[in-house]
Amino acid sequence: MELTSKQRAYLRSLANGVDTILHIGKDGISDTVITQANDALEARELIKCRVLENAGLTAREACDLLSQKTRSEQVQVIGSKFVLYRKSHKKEIKHITLPLQK
């Protein structure tokens, strides 16, 4: 699913109230980080991640890799933080309703 600019803007506004739940350190994008990101995306749909100084990669690089590995959409990269979105398949969570694709 490719997000429109309107959908990205909407998700960016929602991300302001989201706490950082995933920290990427010196091990970079490890299998553990991918598993944690997949679990978080399934439970929340929208997650904020932070790349620590000792990670050895930029937030843009981490965002590119993690979005590819989790099949999620990149919403925003700012400084050392980035936001990812993926629609969850769980029925019990409150799903994010995106604006129409126009």
* CATH number, position 58: 3.30.110.60
What's the pLDDT at 93?
A: 87
What's the pLDDT at 102?
A: 55
pLDDT tens string 1-13: 789 999 999 999 9
Are 15 and 46 spatial neighbours (Cβ–Cβ below 8 Å)? yes
Q: How many domains does the chain have?
A: 1
Q: Kindly report the pTM of this predicted structure.
A: 0.91
Average model confidence (pLDDT) across the chain = 93
What is the C-alpha separation between 16 and 70, in angstroms, rounded? Answer: 22
100 lies in a domain?
Answer: no
For residue 80, the enclosing domain spans: 5-85
pLDDT tens string 21-49: 999 999 999 999 999 999 999 999 999 99
74 lies in a domain?
Answer: yes
91 lies in a domain?
Answer: no
What's the pLDDT at 69?
A: 97
